[in-house]
């Protein structure tokens, strides 16, 4: 029997959380463990942080460049978040899906809602809650990549984001990192296995049924 598991229909796995809850760390590990998963690298008008790498973490662009991309309909979705603009470029997503790969998004609730409206069968939305707002602050301070005023703004925005967690398909609390990672990986594996995504099964079944026994 062939080991070919194509064609298949890709998952658009969206991970959202308030800033500091741990979504970037969880997404990085999921990417490292799964070769068939492509990270959607967003465009943003916010400043680059210490430790970030341009075109790996984000494509950093000016306001004018971002506007030109909106005008060219180059985003699957975009939104204002924490005073900057962020968007998911359409072309790499279309390419990954056409090649049968899955796409991982680290985007906010507005982007999650938009992608789920545009791609209702393929979007899978995961929301990550912090154990407490006090712990959220501790993580943002420990990460030490943002100025105090930026941290305060993110904490102030956290409640607004948490209010939207009811719109998501899956929600869990990121207390213990390894346990949370296992939860995210299980969600991804289960969603990948859904029958309608695995269109190769039709041909596989016929081969099995034709096998002489």
Ligand X SMILES: Nc1nc2c(ncn2[C@@H]2O[C@H](COP(=O)(O)OP(=O)(O)O)[C@@H](O)[C@H]2O)c(=O)[nH]1
Ligand Y SMILES: Nc1ncnc2c1ncn2[C@@H]1O[C@H](COP(=O)(O)OP(=O)(O)O)[C@@H](O)[C@H]1O
In the complex, the residues that contact ligand Y under the rule CB under 6 A are: 17, 19-25, 139, 142-143, 174, 177, 180
Q: 89 a known binding residue? A: no
From the list ligand Y, ligand X, none, pick the one residue 139 interacts with, judged by a Cβ distance below 5 to 8 Å according to partner type: ligand Y
Q: 131 a known binding residue? A: no
Site for ligand X in 9-28 (CB under 6 A): 16, 19-20, 24
| Residue 75 CA: distances (Å) to CA of 13, 44, 163 | 17, 12, 25
Q: 36 a known binding residue? A: no
Residue 111 is a binding residue for ligand X (CB under 6 A): yes
Contacts of 55 (CB under 8 A, 6+ apart): 41
Site for ligand X in 81-100 (CB under 6 A): 81-82, 86-88
Query: Whose Cβ is closer to ligand Y: residue 132's or residue 199's?
Result: 132
Residue 42 is a binding residue for ligand X (CB under 6 A): yes
- Closest CB 46 distance from ligand Y, rounded Å: 13
**Chain mean position to CA 89:** 13
- Closest CB 4 distance from ligand X, rounded Å: 33
- Closest CB 145 distance from ligand Y, rounded Å: 8
| Residue 166 CA: distances (Å) to CA of 16, 158, 163 | 12, 15, 7
Counting beta carbons within 10 angstroms of the beta carbon of residue 96, is it exposed (0 to 12), middle (13 to 18) or buried (19 or more)?
buried
Contacts of 29 (CB under 8 A, 6+ apart): 181
Query: Whose Cβ is closer to ligand Y: residue 58's or residue 122's?
Result: 58
Query: Whose Cβ is closer to ligand Y: residue 10's or residue 20's?
Result: 20
Q: Which of 8, 25, 92, 110 binds ligand X (CB under 6 A)?
A: 110
The closest of 195, 213, 25, 115 to 204, measured between CA atoms, is 195
Q: 87 a known binding residue? A: no
Query: Whose Cβ is closer to ligand Y: residue 181's or residue 200's?
Result: 181
Degrees, nearest 5: CA angle 80-86-88: 130
- Closest CB 172 distance from ligand X, rounded Å: 16
Give the span between the Cα atoms of 41 and 164, in whole angstroms.
23
Q: Per CB under 6 A, which region of 93-101, 105-113, 118-126, 186-194 contacts ligand X?
A: 105-113
Q: What strands, in cross-sheet order, belong to the sheet with 123-129?
A: 37-39, 102-106, 12-16, 123-129, 170-173
Fill in the DSSP letter of residue 50: T
Binding residues: 17-24
Binding residues for ATP: 17-24
């Amino acid at each position: 029997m062939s080991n070919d598991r194509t064609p298949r229909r890709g998952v658009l796995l969206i991970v959202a959380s308030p800033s500091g809850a741990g979504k970037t760390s969880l997404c990085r590990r999921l990417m490292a463990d799964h070769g068939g998963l492509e990270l959607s690298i967003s465009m943003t008008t916010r400043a680059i942080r210490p430790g970030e790498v341009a075109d790996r973490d984000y494509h950093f662009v000016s306001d004018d460049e971002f506007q030109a991309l909106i005008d060219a309909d180059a985003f699957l979705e975009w939104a204002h978040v924490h005073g900057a603009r962020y968007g998911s470029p359409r072309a790499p997503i279309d390419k990954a899906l056409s090649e049968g790969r899955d796409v991982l998004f680290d985007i906010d609730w507005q982007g999650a809602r938009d992608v789920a409206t545009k791609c209702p069968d393929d979007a899978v939305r995961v929301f990550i809650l912090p154990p407490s707002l006090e712990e959220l602050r501790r993580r943002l301070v420990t990460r030490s990549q943002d100025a105090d005023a930026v941290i305060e703004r993110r904490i102030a925005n956290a409640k607004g984001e948490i209010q939207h967690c009811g719109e998501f398909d899956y929600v869990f609390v990121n207390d213990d990192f390894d346990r949370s990672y296992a939860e995210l990986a299980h969600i991804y594996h289960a969603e990948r296995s859904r029958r309608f995504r695995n269109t190769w099964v039709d041909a596989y079944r016929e081969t099995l049924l034709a096998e002489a026994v």
